[in-house]
Amino acid sequence: MSSAYSITRSVNPPRAVYLDFPLGRTAGKANDKPLQRKIMIDTLSALDSIQVPGTIRELPYQWSDDDAWKDLVMRPDPNNSDGHNDSRIERVTTAQYQCDADRAAAEATLAKGGCSTCVFLEDSRA
């Protein structure tokens, strides 16, 4: 499943479906179960019916009536005084919890012997 056509074209997976939605909604709109289900049924159908390796099948759903949202993606923010499109945040190796309660819950898991479902892989080159 993809909402970034050019990236998926470049990666070239065996089969793909393309949904023309803003990033962060690859499988549908929030709290719209009927649409999510239709998208997944189409996705499963593509698994079954795509015969040519590398095919990207476009799904027939639109995010909104017009495409105005596309003009705002990764464009300079007019409120940013230097005119650059710089939304970087510092990249650190500390866990980024959605909320403080999650940090406490994870610390409790670790205190009870560790997180068996958190898998940290070894890099032999590191």
Partner 1 sequence: MSEKALIIAAELRVPAAAVTTTQGREMSREYVDYIQRTREQYDDLGYTPYAWVANDDVPPFTPLAKPLQDSRVGLIASGGIYCEGQIAFHFKDDFSYREIPRKTAREKLRATHFAYDLTDARSDPNVVFPQDTLQDLAQLSRIRELGPNAYTFMGGIYSVRKVRDILAPALADRLVKDEVDVAILVPV
State the minimum distance, in angstroms, from the CB of residue 71 to partner 1: 4
# chain residues binding partner 1, by CB under 8 A: 85
Contact letters for partner 1, residues 36-75 (x by CB under 8 A):
xx-xxx-xx--xx---xxxxxxx-x-x----x--xxxxxx
Task: Please report whether residue 25 would count as binding partner 1 according to CB under 8 A.
Answer: yes
The residues in 87-126 that bind partner 1, with binding defined as CB under 8 A, are: 87, 89-99, 101-103, 105-106, 108-110, 115, 117-123, 125
List, as own/partner pairs, every contact residues 65-73 make where C-beta atoms lie below 8 angstroms and the sequence separation is at least 24, other chains included.
69/22, 73/22, 73/23
Q: Show Cβ contacts of residue 3 under 8 Å, excluding neighbours closer than 6 positions.
A: 18, 19, 20, 21, 22, 23, 25, 26
